[in-house]
Structures are given as C-alpha cells and as structure tokens.
Amino acid sequence: EVQLVESGGGFVQPGGSLRLSCAASGFTFSTYWMSWVRQAPGKGLEWVANIKQDGSEKYYVDSVKGRFTISRDNAKHSLYLQVNSLRAEDTAVYYCAKTTSTEDAFDIWGQGTMVTVSS
C-alpha cells in the first residue's frame, strides 16, 4: 500500500524549532519529487516547499525562506522539514505529499502532523 506517515509536530513557543518527518512506503521514494503542504486551522492549502529526487534542488514559498529547510534521506525513504524561528502564523497541519511522475499534481498525501505556535 502506498503510504505517507508524518510525525514530529507539537506545541512550540514563538521562535522555537521542530523537525517534521515523513515516512514513505509502497513506492520507489527516490524517484519522485516530494513536497510539504500546510493548512492553517479552518483555512485552505498552502504549498510550503519541495525537493528533487536526489535532493539537488529545493524550493520554498517566500514566507518560509530562510527559516524552513526541506531534506530527504532516500535510503530511509524519508522526507524532512526543519522549521525554525516559528511564528504564530506557522500554526497549521503540515502534510507530506508525493508529486506525480510528470510533476503536475500531488497524488499521495499523508494524514498530516499538527504544529501549534503559541506563547
């Protein structure tokens, strides 16, 4: 079964850090671009970052540049998001998403991990 399972979310104070993880199974992880997408409570979806198959290219939405870092470990079939200097507006469910082979859509999504930033 194709599956993505996120972990690492939690409650953190403004300025704090977390490392989100996404474990992939059921497909050849190393051959797909992967993304993180977030959803603030009661709000819509926002793409956050993505990473090429070999990790050589990474892209971010402007609001997280310099604060978030996406990475992957193909040997462990895992995707990561290091989130630093967290702000209240980063509060959201963070989803891991697999990109299709033609990079035109997100075809597999995890259940998400909640990040709450509050003092």
Check residue 113 for interaction with other proteins (CB under 8 A).
Answer: no
Residue placing its CB nearer to other proteins in the complex, 23 or 61: 61
Mask 69-88, x = binds other proteins (CB under 8 A)? Answer: --------------------
Q: What type of residue sits at position 49?
A: A
Residue placing its CB nearer to other proteins in the complex, 47 or 91: 47
Check residue 89 for interaction with other proteins (CB under 8 A).
Answer: no
Check residue 44 for interaction with other proteins (CB under 8 A).
Answer: yes
CB of 77 to other proteins, least distance (A): 19
Check residue 107 for interaction with other proteins (CB under 8 A).
Answer: yes
Check residue 104 for interaction with other proteins (CB under 8 A).
Answer: yes
Three-state secondary structure along the chain?
Answer: CCEEEEECCEEECCCCCEEEEEEEECCCHHHCCEEEEEECCCCCEEEEEEECCCCCCEEECHHHCCCEEEEEEHHHCEEEEEECCCCHHHCEEEEEEEECCCCCCEEEECCCEEEEECC
- Do residues 70 and 58 make contact, with C-beta atoms less than 8 angstroms apart? yes
The span of 15-23, 43-51, 71-79, 82-90 binding other proteins (CB under 8 A) equals 43-51
